[in-house]
Amino acid sequence: MFQLSSEGKQQVLNELKRYESKQSAVLPALYIGQRENKGFITPAVIQELSRVMEIPESQINEVFTFYTMYNKKNVGKYHVQVCRTLSCMLNGAEELVGHLCEQLNTRVDQMTTDGRFTISEVECLGSCGTAPMMQIGDKYFENLTPESAMNLLRTMK
């Protein structure tokens, strides 16, 4: 069972009125659902959105599964998304991911046992001039070295 908070529900209702078509609110509503369900989306979240939005579950579900920013499974408190595409690769993205995984004793896409981190490799984040880089939550961290990235993670409790 998942229920939107009254604030979250109001936000979804606002999004429904914001665009010329009700369906356009599906992407923003999924973000709201994800935020209220500890960062990932389950069938229960889809059910709740469907009920509030009066849009069939199937129509919400196909959108949910299409886009990469909606998480399909539980991620750590800090979702560390390292860009792996060419310009970052040329500047050491692989070493960066390798170092983080090694130091945290984890693998890509696997949450650390303390639930703090999930390290993921993602495609181009549009930060190629400041490579290598990673995104944690909404923030970009650029011009990294394996050590500077790990030092940053150490400050995140």
Partner 1 sequence: MAIQETKYLTEFYHLPEFKGIDGYKKNGGYVELEKALKMQPQAIIDEVKASGLRGRGGAGFSTGMKWGFLPKNNEPRYLLCNADEGEPGTFKDRMMMEKAPHQLIEGMIISGFAIGSKKSYIYVRGEYDQSINTLETAIQEAYKAGYLGKNILGSGFDHDMDVYRGAGAYICGEETGMISSLEGLKGQPKLKPPFPAVQGYLKKPTIVNNVETLAVVKYVIRDGAAHYKKIGTEKSTGTKLFSLSGNVMKPGNFEVPLGFPLKDMVFGLGGGMKPGRQLKAVIPGGSSAPVLNAEESNRALLDYENLAQMGTMLGSGAIIVIDDSNCMVQCLSNLMHFYHHESCGQCTPCREGTGWLDKITRSILSGKGRLQDIELLLKVADNMKGKTICALSDAAALPVLSFVPKFRDEFEYFVREGKSKVKGTAYKGHSYAEMHH
| 99 vs 116, beta carbon nearer partner 1 | 99
| Candidate list 10, 14, 68, 113; residue touching partner 1; CB under 8 A | 68
Helix (H, G, I), strand (E, B) or coil at 78: strand
Least distance from partner 1 to the Cβ atom of residue 13, Å = 15
SS (H, E, C) 42-76: CHHHHHHHHHHHCCCHHHHHHHHHHCCCCCCCCCC
| 1 vs 143, beta carbon nearer partner 1 | 143
User: Which among 80, 96, 105 has a CA at the least distance from the CA of 131?
Assistant: 96
CB 117 within 8 A of CB 111: yes
Number of H helices, E strands in the chain: 7, 4
| 1 vs 106, beta carbon nearer partner 1 | 106
What's 154's DSSP letter? Answer: H
Least distance from partner 1 to the Cβ atom of residue 70, Å = 6
Site for partner 1 in 6-25 (CB under 8 A): 18-25
Residues lying near partner 1 in the complex (CB under 8 A): 18-28, 30-31, 62-63, 66-70, 84-87, 89-91, 93-95, 97-98, 101, 107-108, 119, 121, 123-131, 135, 138-140
